[in-house]
Amino acid sequence: MKKWITTFLIFLGFEVGTLVAQSQAELFARPGVIGDSLSQGFFGATVEKKTQDWAYPVLVTKQAGSSLSYNVLKGPWLNFESILKKECGLICMVKSLIGGNASVVNLPTHAGITGAEYSSVLRTSGECQDVTARKWAKEWYWSAWNQRTYRWVMVKDCKKPDKFHQFGLRKSGTQIEIMEKVKPTFLFGTAAANHVLCTALSTSTDCLNGTRYRKDIREVMRRLAAIGSIKGGVLFTIPNVTTISFLEPYKDPKGRENLTGLKAFYRNFVVNPRQILDAKEIETITRFLTMLNDEIKVQAVAMGFAVADTKVVFDDLRENGRRIELPKGSRGPGWAYAHWPMPGKPGVFGLDGVHPNMYGHAVFANELIKAINVRYGLSIPQVSEYTAWYYDSLNRRPVDLKKFLNQHILGIFISFILGIFA
């Protein structure tokens, strides 16, 4: 009897394992991605093959035994780390600033693009900034065999998008149109960050528009649901953008409230209220962020998706750090925190203080894997955070960015330019 029970339990365990494996394979049979700079792999301050390859959707998909296809970029803009470490000379910088494609695909399954938000997921393609834009134009015709005249008609108003959209999407359509063609079985679907991150980057709350955000995220999810092929997906909440490394506290020497608060890290002083987020603006951002994250959770439930509360994870990382777990017998770096790496202090950010480095993407990917495993009863293995840290050149050889900005001619020039245009 005991032998029979043992045999039955072994058989049952085998069957359950097979079902889980099948469900994982079915779920990730054709993964798809919409998103922003975080999903594309933007890294202080460009997109290139190595950064795209370590981006969180690529890591999670690989751990799940599947893959993604995407147009590989070589710019635009610059990789600060390469420049500061003198790995990119003048010709390299010029090529990077111009940008282009290292390789292309006909239809990318990964359509996440730097600078995107739910509004641009719906409207921005690789060819048009807004595919829905229209304008009045003259249409000429012959009113008689010898008389040519015109009438006013509505035509497409197609303006060129930014280079990230041009090189990332090319002629495939908007992000949502690409997903409608791809028909994914699993979706990475978060493009919410730039709806609120804009406040930190511009030190202003003028960009906040809750009505537009709610309208567009709901329309994106409606169109995704209508595709019919999606069996699962994952969304994540947005961390508190007022606590990222890009911002740092500043107190006005004269005690003026509208010049006291949070400033961009590269500014040495503040002379204009537009250069700082004061207490009232920070409160406004906090309220907006709560609304934004609540909506993400509602949409995740409605779509049957997993949801990773990365805001909570980031808050814990900032306050308590995250231990880098070591292989047996290895000597480790200790605890990582929510800042860019410094000597003896591992960090998750790149040199722009906004986007994750290679190690940071591994941390982020693991939080998504945890949420996916819980929601769908899977056992997707986690990414080795130690390995990601070990091969992360910025963590292994940190750059003192603030010292560079203050003491080097090029750094002082960069600070000056940022101060004018930011």
Residue 120's CATH number: 3.40.50.1110
Give the per-residue pLDDT at 400: 79
Report yes or no: 318 and 336 within 8 Å, Cβ to Cβ.
no
Q: Is residue 277 part of a domain?
A: no
Residues 155 and 231 in one domain: no
Residues 147 and 205 in one domain: no
Q: Is residue 422 part of a domain?
A: no
Residues 98 and 191 in one domain: yes
Give the per-residue pLDDT at 410: 58
Model pTM score: 0.89
Residues 74 and 140 in one domain: no
Give the per-residue pLDDT at 389: 96
Q: Specify the number of domains making up the chain.
A: 2
Least Cα distance to 225 among 184, 191, 265 occurs for 184
| Strand residue runs (E) in 313-379 | 322-323, 335-336
Residues 76 and 135 in one domain: no
Helical segments of 41-174, H only? 49-53, 56-63, 80-84, 90-98, 118-123, 163-169
Residues 201 and 143 in one domain: no
Q: Provide the domain limits for residue 147.
A: 127-160
Residues 230 and 329 in one domain: yes
Model confidence pLDDT, tens digit, residues 310-328: 999 999 999 999 999 887 7
Residues 222 and 366 in one domain: yes
Residues 221 and 369 in one domain: yes
Distance (Å, whole) CA 48 – CA 101: 9
Q: Is residue 243 part of a domain?
A: no
Q: Is residue 281 part of a domain?
A: no
Angstrom CA distances, 44 to 40, 310, 340, 354, 380, stand at: 13, 21, 11, 8, 30
Residues 106 and 186 in one domain: yes
Q: Is residue 317 part of a domain?
A: yes
Q: Is residue 419 part of a domain?
A: no
How many residues in the chain? 422
Q: Is residue 144 part of a domain?
A: yes
pLDDT tens for the chain, 422 residues long, are 555 554 444 444 444 444 455 599 999 999 999 999 999 999 988 999 999 999 999 999 999 999 999 999 999 988 889 988 889 988 998 999 999 999 999 999 999 999 999 999 999 999 999 999 999 999 999 988 889 999 999 999 999 999 999 999 999 999 999 999 999 999 999 999 999 999 999 999 999 999 999 999 999 999 999 999 999 999 999 999 999 999 999 999 999 999 999 999 888 889 999 999 999 999 999 999 999 999 999 999 999 999 999 999 999 999 999 999 887 766 678 899 999 999 999 999 999 889 999 999 999 999 999 999 999 999 999 999 999 999 999 999 998 777 777 666 555 555 554 444 44
Residues 29 and 156 in one domain: no
Give the per-residue pLDDT at 295: 99
Give the per-residue pLDDT at 226: 99
Residues 386 and 319 in one domain: yes
**Tokens describing residue 418:** 């940022």
Give the per-residue pLDDT at 21: 55
Give the per-residue pLDDT at 328: 72
Least Cα distance to 139 among 150, 126, 154 occurs for 150
Round to the nearest angstrom and report the end-to-end CA distance of the chain.
Answer: 76
Q: Is residue 271 part of a domain?
A: no
Give the per-residue pLDDT at 181: 99
